[in-house]
């Protein structure tokens, strides 16, 4: 079937726009899509390999130049302190940078410097093509996901309940989710609206 030229152009433009926009975020109760990404030290990380080891995995979408990442890595130590608190659970925490080349926070050297500057105790994985970010529907830095060893997403959303770029929230949603898992209880708040800088996907 042939379409008028103007309609064909509009459909092509729409396809490009949709390709650049992340899908809806993976909802709690869904299976986490598997992926392999390389960190800033050249080491590969595969989600399914960690799950096979019985690990709980936290994913944090990351951009070192985003004020909200600076809030939780420098002004406060939210991420590393939460990771340390639940380390005995065999927790794996992966920061993922889905920023495209030429955009804010992208690049091996920039992220290596940030890892040192922020004194991070877990790896930064690079997803310059944005494939993993779009697979999860990651919208902001940070955007958090908690995944159980059976591959189920049990939390998706914000790290805490204060959407400002400086003030720490009263409730750490990721910590609450991890505490519930440690106690063998369901996660009471499984989904919140993430806040932060938009993930810098390629156009």
> Has residue 106 got a pLDDT over 90?
yes
Q: Render pLDDT for 153-175 as a digit per residue (tens, 0 to 9).
A: 999 999 999 999 999 999 999 99
Average pLDDT, rounded, for the chain:
90
Whole-Å CA distances, 171 to 160, 168, 186:
5, 9, 17
Q: 54: left (phi > 0), else alpha (psi -120 to 50), else beta?
A: left
Q: Are 93 and 159 in contact (CB under 8 A)?
A: no
Beta-strand relationship, 57-61 and 92-97: parallel
Q: Are 26 and 33 in contact (CB under 8 A)?
A: yes
Question: Where is 16: in which H helix or E strand?
Answer: helix 5-20
* pLDDT score recorded for residue 185: 96
The full set of domain ranges for the chain reads 24-198
Give 20 or 42, the one with higher predicted confidence. Answer: 42
> Has residue 76 got a pLDDT over 90?
yes
Q: Are 128 and 155 in contact (CB under 8 A)?
A: no
Pick the CATH number of 24-198 from 3.40.50.300, 3.40.720.10, 3.90.79.10, 3.40.30.10: 3.40.30.10
Q: What is the 3-state secondary structure (H, E, C) of 109-168?
A: HHHHHHHHHCCCCCCEEECCCCHHHHHHCCCEECCEEEECCCCEEEEEECCECCCCCCCC
Instruction: Please state the pTM of the whole predicted model.
Output: 0.88
Using CA atoms, how far apart are residues 21 and 35, in angstroms rounded to an integer? 19
Rounded to 5°, the CA angle 51-55-59 comes to 85
> Has residue 50 got a pLDDT over 60?
yes
* pLDDT score recorded for residue 23: 55
> Has residue 62 got a pLDDT over 80?
yes
């Amino acid at each position: 079937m042939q379409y008028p030229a103007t309609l064909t152009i509009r459909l092509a433009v729409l396809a490009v726009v949709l390709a650049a926009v992340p899908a809806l975020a993976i909802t709690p109760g869904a299976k986490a899509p598997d992926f392999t990404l390389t960190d800033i030290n050249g080491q590969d990380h595969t989600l399914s390999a960690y799950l096979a080891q019985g690990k709980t995995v936290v994913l944090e979408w990351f951009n070192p130049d985003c004020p909200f990442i600076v809030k939780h890595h420098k002004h406060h130590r939210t991420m590393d302190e939460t990771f340390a608190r639940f380390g005995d659970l065999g927790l794996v925490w992966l920061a993922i940078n889905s920023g495209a080349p030429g955009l804010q926070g992208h690049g091996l050297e920039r992220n290596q410097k940030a890892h040192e500057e922020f004194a991070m105790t877990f790896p930064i994985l690079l997803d310059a093509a944005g494939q993993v970010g779009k697979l999860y529907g990651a919208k902001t830095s940070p955007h958090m996901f908690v995944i159980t060893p059976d591959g189920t997403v049990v939390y998706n959303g914000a790290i805490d309940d204060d959407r400002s770029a400086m003030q720490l929230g009263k409730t750490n949603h990721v910590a609450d989710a991890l505490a519930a898992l440690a106690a063998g209880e369901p996660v009471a708040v499984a989904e919140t609206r993430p806040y932060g800088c938009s993930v810098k996907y390629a156009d």
